[in-house]
């Protein structure tokens, strides 16, 4: 096997080889979590797309099955693209997916059902002959019409969304059905936004206004808000808004003050795309899956024999403020925690970096709370930065440029002499009326390797600083650093390819390059064990 394993992840989801992209139709059925995903069974580049299929009891250890959906009919002969599952009230799952019907990538929507409902593995899927369920009409752009959502039910009708665009306007078309078979396009889309381009992989779901529990897709009412997330083909970022779903008009209205477009809230400010949530009735959580592509030259993907990972599934819920979502890696991940190292009340003066001696710094979970005694030294916020993406602010300021309050944080996947490191850090700024907190995951110093994409991913996080604390959790796994700032108020994922800082040559440090002293109040780091990852199910 000529698969180069240096950058292979240890506990992130991936098959043994070949290309993967979007997570599809995640669901819980008869005691098992199912994950399907876009997969090229023939190589490490995009193409020949089928739905690969894996199952898990805990979202962390995965067993693989044969592909569930693959080209076999006139209505999907050129590819089986992304889609979603709906678990009907009688417990039966149905998959909707996009079928490609010709060389021009013409798109229609199909359904598939399990051949044997008593098989908890749902190994075999049937595509009935009354497919497709939706054909594009004359007003729809037939090569930009895909990625059906999970269905929800309201007032006698099922509904689904299909992502699309009309010229430059991103559109979520709405289709309705009484019987789950015959689907009719609604007069108006659920929502659309000028200038945002193709909306891939829309996701639309209710969130509770109180507490962290997830909701079934059809829950509506007083205590509920809705979330609409889309993946923007143009920028390769996703954005979401919260708002009101008016089921009479069948329209979605984002809340006042939220930005509807590429400058809006993101689920992740880094490498995270085509994400999808599902409701897990066994634990009452809503769980989010997202895909992280490689950030190196596609030739290297071919050399290593694989490309793409799924990030760690995250629980999502509404922040009590109602102004954003919160996210946290599913608790099951903590079962993989091994050797533990702690730091407490560790002072970091300007210029300090202190090693955290985890056993496997290349495969670790770190959770740290920093504190400081004053906000006075926060650097001024340049009003021109309001026009920039946070990533550009991060690029200007970096992790080394001395600041006031920050930069401080972690140096992950660092070589001993810091020729390579991926810093994940905060910088606090003082704007006219408030403080602005930047979290940055800066890949620019991550590798001495050539032809890599090394973006300075960053986002501003809306966090209350009255207790003068900032927390950070980073999931480090060889070629990915997945970070959660301020208790899940922001997430940033980076793919990085160190050449020196690999395996036991990878180190982990806490650092501060700001003039305000920082205290590591409490830090826990764990070496992470390797789960069962896509070993075939024994039949
Ligand atoms: C998103 C996407 C979807 C499409 C699928 C094809 O990454 O482009 O819109 O269904 O991937 O693999």
Task: Give the pLDDT of residue 281.
Answer: 98
- Both 163 and 301 in a single domain? yes
Could you say which of 311, 329, 347 is where a domain stops? 329
- Both 176 and 134 in a single domain? yes
| Residue 2 counted as domain residue | no
Could you say which of 297, 329, 361 is where a domain stops? 329
Query: Within the chain, which residues score under 50 in pLDDT?
Result: 1-3
Q: What separation in Å is there between the alpha carbon of 81 and the centre of ligand 1?
A: 6
Q: Counting atoms of ligand 1 from 1, which one is nearest the CA of 291?
A: 7
User: Is 21 close to ligand 1, i.e. is its CB under 6 Å away?
Assistant: yes
Pocket test for ligand 1, best of 19, 78, 144, 201 (most atoms within 8 A of CB): 201
Q: In what order do the strands lie in the sheet with 107-114?
A: 80-87, 93-100, 107-114, 125-126
Q: What separation in Å is there between the alpha carbon of 330 and the centre of ligand 1?
A: 25
Q: Name the active-site residue from 22, 203, 301, 365.
A: 22
Query: Which CATH number do you get for residue 53?
Result: 2.115.10.20
- Both 229 and 339 in a single domain? no
- Both 352 and 413 in a single domain? yes
User: Is 81 close to ligand 1, i.e. is its CB under 6 Å away?
Assistant: yes
What is the domain extent for residue 396? 333-529
- Both 271 and 349 in a single domain? no
- Both 167 and 185 in a single domain? yes
Residue with tokens 């689904």: 160
Rounded percentage of the chain residues whose pLDDT exceeds 90: 95
- Both 393 and 320 in a single domain? no
Alpha carbon distance 425, 28 (integer Å): 36
- Both 250 and 376 in a single domain? no
| Residue 4 counted as domain residue | no
Q: Counting atoms of ligand 1 from 1, which one is nearest the CA of 200?
A: 9
| Residue 467 counted as domain residue | yes
| Residue 11 counted as domain residue | no
Could you say which of 306, 329, 352 is where a domain stops? 329
Query: Which CATH number do you get for residue 524?
Result: 2.60.120.560
Q: What separation in Å is there between the alpha carbon of 198 and the centre of ligand 1?
A: 11
Known catalytic residue at 22: yes
ipTM over 0.95: yes
Query: Which tokens hold the place of 322?
Result: 């109602």
Please name which of 159, 348, 318 lies closest in space to residue 226, comparing C-alpha atoms: 318
- Both 339 and 294 in a single domain? no
User: Is 39 close to ligand 1, i.e. is its CB under 6 Å away?
Assistant: no
| Residue 200 counted as domain residue | yes
User: Is 80 close to ligand 1, i.e. is its CB under 6 Å away?
Assistant: no
- Both 319 and 454 in a single domain? no
| Residue 12 counted as domain residue | no
User: Is 145 close to ligand 1, i.e. is its CB under 6 Å away?
Assistant: no
Please name which of 300, 324, 328, 297 lies closest in space to residue 312, comparing C-alpha atoms: 328
Task: Give the pLDDT of residue 1.
Answer: 41
DSSP 200-232: EEEEEEEEESSSS-B--TT--STTEEEEEEEEE
- Both 63 and 37 in a single domain? yes
What does the pLDDT look like over 393-417, one tens digit per residue? 999 999 999 999 999 999 999 999 9
- The total of structural domains in the chain comes to 2
Task: Give the pLDDT of residue 2.
Answer: 42
User: Is 399 close to ligand 1, i.e. is its CB under 6 Å away?
Assistant: no
| Residue 537 counted as domain residue | no
Q: What separation in Å is there between the alpha carbon of 22 and the centre of ligand 1?
A: 7
- In which element (H, E) is residue 393 found? helix 390-397
User: Is 146 close to ligand 1, i.e. is its CB under 6 Å away?
Assistant: yes
- Both 110 and 183 in a single domain? yes
């Amino acid at each position: 096997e000529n698969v180069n394993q240096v950058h292979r992840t240890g506990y992130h989801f991936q098959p043994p080889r070949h290309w993967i992209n979007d997570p599809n139709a995640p669901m819980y059925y008869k005691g098992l979590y199912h994950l399907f995903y876009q997969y090229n069974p023939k190589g490490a580049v995009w193409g020949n797309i089928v739905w690969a299929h894996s199952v898990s009891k805990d979202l962390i250890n995965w067993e693989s099955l044969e592909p569930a959906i693959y080209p076999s009919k006139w209505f999907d002969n050129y590819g089986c693209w992304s889609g979603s599952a709906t678990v009907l009230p009688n417990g039966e799952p149905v998959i909707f997916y996009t079928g490609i019907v010709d060389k021009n990538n013409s798109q229609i929507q199909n359904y598939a059902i399990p051949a044997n409902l008593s098989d908890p593995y749902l190994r075999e899927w049937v595509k009935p002959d009354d497919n497709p369920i939706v054909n594009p009409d004359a007003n729809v752009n037939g090569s930009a019409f895909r990625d059906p959502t999970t269905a929800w039910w309201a007032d006698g009708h099922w509904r689904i969304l299909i992502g699309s665009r009309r010229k430059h306007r991103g559109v979520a078309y709405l289709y309705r059905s009484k019987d789950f078979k015959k689907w009719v396009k609604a007069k108006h889309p659920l929502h659309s936004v000028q200038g945002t381009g193709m909306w891939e992989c829309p996701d639309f779901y209710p969130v509770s206004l109180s507490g962290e529990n997830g909701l079934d897709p059809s829950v509506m009412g007083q205590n509920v808000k809705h979330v609409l997330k889309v993946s923007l083909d143009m920028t390769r970022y996703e954005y979401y808004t919260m708002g009101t779903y008016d089921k009479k008009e069948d329209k979605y209205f984002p809340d006042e003050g939220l930005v509807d477009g590429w400058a809006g809230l993101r689920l992740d400010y880094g490498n995270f795309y085509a994400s999808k949530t599902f409701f897990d009735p066994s634990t009452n959580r809503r769980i989010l899956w997202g895909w992280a592509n490689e950030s190196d030259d596609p030739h290297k993907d071919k050399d290593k024999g694989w490309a793409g990972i799924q990030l760690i599934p995250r629980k999502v819920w509404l922040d009590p403020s109602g102004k954003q979502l919160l996210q946290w890696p599913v608790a099951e991940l903590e079962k993989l925690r091994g050797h533990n190292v702690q730091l407490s009340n560790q002072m970091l003066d300007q210029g300090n970096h202190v090693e955290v001696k985890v056993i496997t710094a290349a495969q670790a979970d770190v959770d740290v709370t920093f504190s400081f005694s004053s906000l006075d030294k926060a650097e001024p916020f340049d009003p021109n930065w309001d026009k920039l993406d946070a990533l550009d602010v991060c690029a200007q300021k970096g992790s080394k440029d001395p600041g006031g309050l920050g930069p401080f944080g972690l140096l992950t996947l660092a070589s001993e002499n810091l020729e390579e490191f991926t810093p994940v850090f905060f910088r606090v700024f003082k704007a006219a009326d408030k403080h602005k907190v930047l979290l940055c995951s800066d890949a620019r110093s991550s590798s001495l390797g050539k032809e890599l994409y090394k973006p300075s991913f960053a986002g501003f996080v809306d966090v209350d600083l009255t207790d003068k604390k900032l927390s950070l959790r980073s999931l480090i796994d060889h070629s990915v650093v997945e970070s959660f700032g301020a208790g899940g108020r922001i997430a940033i994922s980076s793919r990085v390819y160190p050449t020196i800082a690999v395996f036991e040559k990878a180190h982990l440090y806490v650092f501060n390059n700001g003039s305000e002293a920082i205290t590591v109040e409490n830090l826990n780091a764990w070496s992470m064990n390797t789960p069962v990852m896509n070993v075939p199910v024994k039949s």
